[in-house]
Structure 1
Amino acid sequence: MAPHLPRPLRRVGLPDRHLMARSAALPHSPADAALRMLSRSANKGHLWWAVAAALATRKGPARRGALRGIAAIAAASASANLVAKELFPRRRPAAELVPEHRRLVKRPTSSSFPSGHSASAAAFVTAVTMESPTAGLALLPLGAAVAYSRVHTGVHWPTDIGVGALIGVAAALGTRHWWPIRDERPGRTAHRAEAPVMIDGQDMLALVNPGSGDPGDDPTEEVRFAWPKATILYPDRGIDIRTQLTTEIARRDGQVRALGVAGGDGTVAAVASVAADTGLPLALIPAGTLNHFARDVGVRSMPDADAATEQGAAVGIDLGEVKIEGGAGTHHRWFVNTASLGGYPEMVRLREKIQQRHPKWPSAVVAMIRVLRRARPLPVRLNGHSALVWMVFVGNGTYAPKGFWPNRRPQLDTGLLDVRYLRADVPYSRARFVLAAITKTLHASHVYRQHDVPALDVELLDGHRRVATDGEVGPLGRTFRFRSRPSALTIYRL
């Protein structure tokens, strides 16, 4: 026998009937047709899919809000329509309770309790608000209108709407369990640094990479506007960026007082390594697709960089360093974000590709499964201890969250590396890792390890591999010595 609603809800109390009567007594107006059309447009979430498509055309919080909103609708719709309606049957209001001109031509026949339309509306609006309060506030009247339209057209009782909205809000908040809200605050650093005031970029050598972001979005004009007196270089395809910059600095024989860069993380990492080697301060304009480093540092746009250089405001931040031995000689590389061995670089690349069309968390799971299926275990020594691993991740600084998808650094001067690896010496380790990642129980999993350490030595026991630093594949090596270098880079930031 199916369970029933509590007696007050099952029998529809006086408040429901009173509110329904008040709505039905409203005078005839153009709003009647508009609400009827709005109610139909929200069937099966069609309205919210259209709104999500419009929001997704804009980068940043609006796009993230659209993706989170779709995920929240999926959870809310399943909870309201597939679970709650089946468990708690309730008659819908009689058609005669509202005037004929308001009624829907095709009335729904499922349980009245709760309202799936209000659940989806509340889920989408709440999810968007979590990422972009401005966009969420703009959508709030639309969501409220969709919810009320179900009472206005006579297909739901007011309490159906209220409970449906609560389900939607809970579904949206629940997405944070697997998909944390991005913290937009810049990373903290207690190390102020000395840097020259750069009026209009005088004595600055700035490298501009037009191919870092969208093909039609060349940052050259931004750089010229911010630093009109700077010397601008473009990457030479035949020469490594580091070599190109180092040669130009030597040619100018002490006349360069600062370096500038406009590009994505890969370009910024290359220029930052030269800045660290030469002791020059770095000014950056984020112009790539992701700009993780600029986001962590707190430089979001050209005005941020321009204001900092005009005031000579700078901070010292840590860099990661890796010494590569055992291949063709010894190599030294700096990294501003991350370094890795094994399948991690491919996993990140695949996740970002899938994420262009799907939400971040499902994209991460799909990428993880695909890469792990074809991965080969790595026999290694980690700081002298033998281990069998699938991949090793090394972050410059301590990242958050502590799962396997770190996305920000709360602090930029910890003097530590964030080391994470996946063990391959545990039965069914890949399957267990995927399950733990999905259920967010990595902290209790025997296959995942995370440590914050100042240094890490990795020795491969089965040949040579390439290390990836900041998304770029490095030289072959057998021994990799990772170190945190405190305050190795001076960067302009207010």
Structure 2
Amino acid sequence: MRYSAALPHTPADIALVRLSRWADKGRLWWFVAALLAIRKGPSRRAALRGLAALGIASAVANLVGKPLLPRRRPAAEAVPEVRRLRIHPTSSSFPSGHAASAAAFVTAAALESPRLGAALIPLGTAVAYSRLHTGVHWPSDIGAGAALGAFTALATRHWWPPHPDARAHTTHPADAPALPEGERVLTVVNRSSGTASDDPTPTIRARWPRTELLHTEPGTELRLQLTEELRHHGGRIRALGAAGGDGTVAAVAAVAADHGLPLALIPTGTLNHFARDLGIRDLADTDVAIRAGSAVGIDLGEVEVDTDHDTVRRQFINTASLGGYPEMVRLRETIERHHPRWPSAIVAMARTLRHARPLRIRLNGEDMLVWLLFVGNGTYAPKGVIPSHRPALDTGLLDVRYLRADKRYSRTRFLLAVVTNTLATSHVYAQRDLAEVDVVLLDGNRRIATDGEVGPLGHRFRFRSRPSALSVYRPRTPTP
């Protein structure tokens, strides 16, 4: 402390004072997170994990550490007047909340992107040191706070495993024609995917001047619209492109699989889970693959829905589900007519969970009561409550998960298992990898949701995996 106080006066004194104030209540890190969240992928995940770790570390430091371990702060006179803060803190000195927040955010960001974490280390170090330089913390306060923050960030892996920044594996190459400039490619464009002001049409036209564009029409069944357009072109089309979110891609993928055409993926939607697993970041990645004729074969999920009048067949590229999720999607769409998408989703989820009722089903011949049934196209990881990615896209299996409602205090036990990360041994939550699943509703009809879109009302649902049924353009090697 004396050594720091004896350092000669430099412009860095004012900079560190301002930095210390900017970091009050985590404001600096919220600003950094906002900047990181602009870009999808590891950057956005780093921002989310960083804020989660910051919140936990700050709460532990200020609500637990300081009350339990009171310690006086250094006297204001310990450092030159030019370095002193206008308002000298009066709370316990141990541990440093600023150091805890800085270490938590930087460490959490490094878990998602080591390069990003390395770039943030100087800023985090400067924030921590600023508390010593301004004379409001002892060095041991800062060391303890930094250790607490780093430990908190590492602990988030217990519930939220870092997403591997690698594309899913497949051992099935597929035959696909090389179509430079989008020649003989029919590209479906959903201009309502993502932000309303971000129409991908000009970008597609610039990259693929010879492609045929088909814009989705509100209120029109996309599968029927696309099938009619293919009939109109009379066999001239050699591949289908899809510019939109997972719902749009799923509809185009179903038609592509039925007609034996490869799919050219252009991620422009909000989430793009399918593109992320494939390792397709943008149109440039797909353009590299389509010029080289590089494609892979992946599995496609399929469900046959028995309604009161007929049987409807739907394909899904990511997930299908029964229970609360379809109702939440329908409610979100209703609220979304007058309010933004994300607040609408939060309100819809809260209302759905509050009024959820269990399903009486017969799953592969076994009668049970469940709150929710999830079916993934392929085996997802992690095996906990939030499946986030697929290590492989050609397993020929479905990832089946459900929460039982016929066990006492099932929802409470489920929440405890989530908190303690013991879902693998839970008696109320189950996960299986199956090639086929037969689900019969024993008390009426319910709607199914596939890839976030609400589907038909039915009483029997037969799920199966169609191995390597879909060919997708993908570069032979991951793009840097």
- TM-score, normalised by the number of residues in structure 2: 0.91
Give 1:82 shift: 2.7
Residue of structure 2 aligned with 1:310, choices 271, 291, 304: 291
Once the two structures are superposed, residues 34-80 of structure 1 have per-residue CA deviations (whole angstroms, 9 ceiling, x without a partner) of: 22222233223233333334444444433333332222222212222
Please give the alpha-carbon distance, in whole angstroms, between the structure 2 residues aligned to 1:47 and 1:278. 53
What aligned pairs does 1:12-411 form with structure 2 within 5 A after superposition?
Answer: 20-346=1-327, 356=342, 370-411=351-392
More moved, 342-351 vs 177-186: 342-351
**Structure 1 counterpart of 2:478:** none
Give 1:320 shift: 0.6
- Tell me how large the CA RMSD over aligned residues is: 2.5
Please give the alpha-carbon distance, in whole angstroms, between the structure 1 residues aligned to 2:316 and 2:461. 13
Give 1:271 shift: 0.4
Cα pair 2:181 2:211 within 8 Å, conserved? yes
Please give the alpha-carbon distance, in whole angstroms, between the structure 1 residues aligned to 2:187 and 2:11. 60
More moved, 91-100 vs 304-313: 91-100
Opposite residue 89 of structure 2, the aligned amino acid is P
Kindly tell me: are residues 250 and 66 of structure 1, through their superposed partners in 2, closer, same or farther at Cα, counting changes over 3 Å?
A: same
Once the two structures are superposed, residues 179-198 of structure 1 have per-residue CA deviations (whole angstroms, 9 ceiling, x without a partner) of: 22222311100001111111
Residue of structure 1 aligned with 2:430, choices 449, 467, 477: 449
Residue of structure 1 aligned with 2:455, choices 474, 478, 481: 474
Kindly tell me: are residues 440 and 97 of structure 1, through their superposed partners in 2, closer, same or farther at Cα, counting changes over 3 Å?
A: same
Once the two structures are superposed, residues 373-424 of structure 1 have per-residue CA deviations (whole angstroms, 9 ceiling, x without a partner) of: 3112211111111111112111100011111221111100000000111111
Please give the alpha-carbon distance, in whole angstroms, between the structure 1 residues aligned to 2:416 and 2:348. 14
Please give the alpha-carbon distance, in whole angstroms, between the structure 2 residues aligned to 1:65 and 1:347. 28
More moved, 434-443 vs 464-473: 434-443
Please give the alpha-carbon distance, in whole angstroms, between the structure 1 residues aligned to 2:380 and 2:331. 21
| Partner SS, residue 162 of structure 2 | coil
Opposite residue 33 of structure 1, the aligned amino acid is I
Give 1:296 shift: 0.9
Please give the alpha-carbon distance, in whole angstroms, between the structure 2 residues aligned to 1:357 and 1:477. 30
Cα pair 2:330 2:454 within 8 Å, conserved? no
Please give the alpha-carbon distance, in whole angstroms, between the structure 2 residues aligned to 1:301 and 1:57. 15
Please give the alpha-carbon distance, in whole angstroms, between the structure 1 residues aligned to 2:33 and 2:281. 25
**Structure 2 counterpart of 1:3:** none
Please give the alpha-carbon distance, in whole angstroms, between the structure 2 residues aligned to 1:475 and 1:105. 64
Opposite residue 391 of structure 1, the aligned amino acid is L
Give 1:134 shift: 4.6
| Structure number with bigger Rg | 1
Cα pair 1:107 1:155 within 8 Å, conserved? yes
What aligned pairs does 1:425-464 form with structure 2 within 5 A after superposition?
Answer: 425-464=406-445
| Partner SS, residue 327 of structure 1 | coil
Kindly tell me: are residues 438 and 349 of structure 1, through their superposed partners in 2, closer, same or farther at Cα, counting changes over 3 Å?
A: farther
Opposite residue 410 of structure 1, the aligned amino acid is P
| Partner SS, residue 76 of structure 1 | helix
| Partner SS, residue 410 of structure 1 | coil
Please give the alpha-carbon distance, in whole angstroms, between the structure 2 residues aligned to 1:141 and 1:374. 49
| Partner SS, residue 452 of structure 1 | strand
Q: How many residues align?
A: 470
Kindly tell me: are residues 470 and 459 of structure 1, through their superposed partners in 2, closer, same or farther at Cα, counting changes over 3 Å?
A: same
Opposite residue 176 of structure 1, the aligned amino acid is R
Kindly tell me: are residues 383 and 137 of structure 1, through their superposed partners in 2, closer, same or farther at Cα, counting changes over 3 Å?
A: same
Cα pair 2:369 2:404 within 8 Å, conserved? yes
Kindly tell me: are residues 283 and 53 of structure 1, through their superposed partners in 2, closer, same or farther at Cα, counting changes over 3 Å?
A: closer
Give 1:439 shift: 2.9
Please give the alpha-carbon distance, in whole angstroms, between the structure 1 residues aligned to 2:460 and 2:78. 78
Kindly tell me: are residues 386 and 143 of structure 1, through their superposed partners in 2, closer, same or farther at Cα, counting changes over 3 Å?
A: same
Kindly tell me: are residues 133 and 469 of structure 1, through their superposed partners in 2, closer, same or farther at Cα, counting changes over 3 Å?
A: same
More moved, 239-248 vs 333-342: 239-248
Cα pair 1:344 1:393 within 8 Å, conserved? no
Once the two structures are superposed, residues 328-379 of structure 1 have per-residue CA deviations (whole angstroms, 9 ceiling, x without a partner) of: 2111111111111111344579999999579xxxx99x98765333112211
| Partner SS, residue 210 of structure 1 | coil
Q: Which runs of 5+ in 2 are unaligned?
A: 476-480
Cα pair 1:372 1:430 within 8 Å, conserved? no
Give 1:201 shift: 1.7
Opposite residue 33 of structure 2, the aligned amino acid is A
More moved, 96-105 vs 409-418: 96-105
Opposite residue 382 of structure 2, the aligned amino acid is P
**Structure 2 counterpart of 1:10:** none
Cα pair 2:329 2:453 within 8 Å, conserved? no
**Structure 2 counterpart of 1:7:** none
Please give the alpha-carbon distance, in whole angstroms, between the structure 1 residues aligned to 2:211 and 2:83. 67
Give 1:466 shift: 1.8
